[in-house]
A = this chain, B = another copy of it.
Amino acid sequence: MASPRTRRTSRIYEVARSAGVSIATVSRVANATGPVRPQTAARVQAAMRRLDYRPHAFARALAAQRSRTIGLLISDILHPYFADIVRGAQEQAEVSEYAVLLGDASVHTRGTDLLVQRLLERRVDGLIVASDRTTTDYAMQLRTEDVPVVCINGSREQFPRAVQIDNRTGAALAIEHLVGLGHRRIAHIAGPPGLPTRDERLASYRAALKHAGLRYDAELVATGDGRFDESRTATRVLLDLADAPTAIFAYNDRSAVGCYQAIRAAGLRVGTDISVVGFDDIVMAEWVDPPLTTLHQPRIEMGRIAVDLLLAVLNGTETVDHVVVQPHLVVRASTGPAPASRAC
């Protein structure tokens, strides 16, 4: 059935024959393992070049018991948040000549276990879990496997090795910024329940309020789903409050933009009547109207760090298991001075 294409690439023993050495020697120069006399090495390298030799990754993996491949679990490549992480991971993996195998939860509708299976079948040497949704599911399943795992923005109880954004600092920066603009009634659109990140950002919001000397008001917290629609609905509720907020700190950029819609629908102007701060700084933040003030999360960098951590484990040179990355505030036009208190 399958067309047995004629193999054009040369194999190790052809190189060996051509260079007049044994395959072991070829292997040694190809992998820089073991001692080889310079002259011999030169002959071998010439032969490799001449025959356009490319070691067969699978055969190599089979013999060496490691694939030089890492699996990267994300929930949606279409979301720029994850695309950035993928980019960073690939860049760093490339440096060490590792390949990255993507596992996109949105593709595998049959469940996350299937997804992980696929990756493990492919014998990935390690795994990076950057999924926001189903972290818990993965954790349960991966605990029984023997692959090292690094998670990005997950909870450390589930995966000891992690790279995380400092949500506490992020929230503090947002609240300080708003308070500095004179805002006192600052609401929070929380993320979808069940996500570690939601809990952290909510808690950090409360802590930052307290630090700023503001009272926490449960009424000012509404729950969205980290996307547009629910966030819009949640915002509407906030706007209908007797003592409505003058500013909103949103779980992420998407929910922030959801706020925009509700604010407009209420006949108010974003950045003037109501200030909005997002979290993540995805590209959209720059293009929406008005451009969104938000906390920049260095996702590409985080992807790179995750790979570094993982490779360190694989190489037995692990020194740290946990890196916290700092966000910084990008001020755009969605925040402005608090309006003189509106009559209610």
Residues of A within 8 A of B (CB): 1-9, 54-59, 61-62, 65-67, 77-78, 80, 83-84, 86-87, 90-91, 94, 99-102, 104, 106-108, 117-118, 120-123, 145-147, 257, 283-284, 287-289, 313-316
Contact of A99 among B65, B87, B101, B146 (CB under 8 A): B101
A146 with B8, Cβ < 8 A, contacts A54-B117, A58-B58 known:
yes
Contact of A57 among B91, B122, B146 (CB under 8 A): B122
| Contact assessment for B120 and A54 in the assembled complex, using a CB-CB cutoff below 8 Å | yes
Q: How far is the CB of A232 from chain B (nearest CB, A)?
A: 14
Most buried by B among A6, A80, A257: A80
A283 to chain B: closest residue by CB: B284
Taking CB atoms, residues of chain B closer than 8 Å to A87 are: 77-78, 104, 106-107
Taking CB atoms, residues of chain B closer than 8 Å to A1 are: 315-316
A77 with B83, Cβ < 8 A, contacts A283-B284, A287-B287, A314-B2 known:
yes
Complex CA distance for A90 and B103, rounded to whole angstroms: 9
| Contact assessment for A2 and B78 in the assembled complex, using a CB-CB cutoff below 8 Å | no
Complex CA distance for A9 and B146, rounded to whole angstroms: 9
| Contact assessment for A66 and B146 in the assembled complex, using a CB-CB cutoff below 8 Å | no
